[in-house]
Amino acid sequence: MKLEPGKTALITGAAGGLGSALARALAARGCHLALVDIDQQALETLAAELRGPTLSVSCHTVDLRNRAAIQALAEDVRQQHSALHLLINNAGITLQKSVETHSEADWQRVFDLNFWGTVNSCKAFLPMLKTAGGAHIVNLSSMAACYGMPSQSSYSSSKAAVQAYSESLRAELRGQHIGVTCINPGAINTQMIQATLRESDDIAQAEANMALAQRFGIAPAKAAQKILAAVERNQAQRFIGVDARLYSLLSKLFPAAVSYALAKSYERVSGRNEALTDRP
């Protein structure tokens, strides 16, 4: 699908680093925007930056874990925009906790946003997309979907579910002029980890992981351009970043080696924590 002036795009998690980069990139192409996030103030600040004489930008403060709220959102967007051509399910959350310390509530919270938020949004907006005369859906998965990462079991699992769902959706919608692209990013220089940092088993390690992502992760603006290029090429899947492409390749060619490397890495971290705990 060609992203050209006059098209309308909806972005969830629009106030975050990648979401706001996508909004700016689409606004630069002349696309109208429906911005969705739970942070109302950040949304309004972004919308004020992007609005112009020929650009319609609406703000929608929604908790995407709530199915009824998503259904209400669809009606709100329908009233404010004449059409919807692009749906980007970008909102997500990660927890850095072991399988042992992951509570049922933790699993529920991660899946409610990462997986069910995506599924419910696709279902709610499908009627608008069908009448657009050519549309596209982008679902954000992760390189963590390729092989489950220690301390991120709920995140890896939810993103693997998003990937499988996207594959099914693409096959079903192919004959209806709606493309579906699953994006698997590696590290992106955003503040995503910050939201749940204090809930981590090892806050120091979580801070170190965030610092690495900020130092070596791809810039959000660059990631956004790659995502939009994938939309225009109607790619089924796109890995963003050298780390994502390498992780995907290694997990397919050498799964045992990847498993061993991840296990040894986790053992070093958990062993260090136990040693610190045991000190008098």
Residues identified as active-site:
155
Cα–Cα distances (Å) from 99 to 23, 112, 128, 181, in that order, read 35, 18, 40, 30
Distance CA 72, CA 96 (A): 32
The total of other beta-carbon atoms located within 10 Å of residue 192's CB is 20
Residue 226 in contact with residue 241, Cβ under 8 Å? no
In the 8-state DSSP scheme, what is residue 64? Answer: T
Nearest in space to 124 (alpha carbons), one of 90, 165, 75:
75
**Which residue's entry shows tokens 């995503």?**
192
Nearest in space to 14 (alpha carbons), one of 75, 91, 84:
91
Sign of CA dihedral 22, 38, 190, 192: negative
